[in-house]
Structure 1
Amino acid sequence: PNLQQFIQNVKGDASYMALEKVLDDIEREGELRGRLEGRLEGKIEGKIEGKIEGEMEGELKGKEQVARRMIAERLDSDLISRVTGFSLDKIDQLRAEGNGGTK
């Protein structure tokens, strides 16, 4: 038989069809694994981002508390700025909030 007939005979063979099914299954499994890995990676990234944002927000609130205490003690804005890292405008804003919106 020529090559084309040989190929046709092989394609019709049960072992060839079983092998083809195994290869299809492997391909589907790989696609599924890829989707699952992508979802897992997305969840992990989301949790990390959330944790970082939460820590940054907590740090900011802590600095604001320190600044408010310093304001309550009538300390100088320049000193408060050096301690907290806040701009003078931010400190003025906190002062205004502490005075019911008036400076």
Structure 2
Amino acid sequence: MKTKHIALLLVCICALFTSCKVGNYSQERGLPDQAYLYFVANENYDGEVQVSVDNNTSFNAKVIKEKKGTIKRDIYAIAKGKRNLKVYYNGNVIYEKVIFVSAQETKKIQLP
């Protein structure tokens, strides 16, 4: 009889300890809603090119010379969605295209 009480007490204690929950420690981290561009070309561009996105945002960008093992070093963040992209070099438009980029997408822009 005493062993049954001890066994029942142990089962109750185990049930109490396993039913306690401290909390959920996992966190959700949202990624930013932006896309990325990098610019490559077969020829060298002295200095940087000027990039215009939707005719309202502009920035200077480095052009990477494309090789077999090209690494995406210089990437530039833009808003996701449909974008009108123009690239200027020495005041001349060398690339103009409407692109679509989704969130967290990295797009390679191949310049002439």
TM-score range normalised by the length of the shorter chain: 0.3 to 0.5
Choose between structure 1 and 2: higher helix proportion. Answer: 1
Q: With CA pairs under 8 Å and 6+ residues apart, which has the higher RCO, 1 or 2?
A: 2
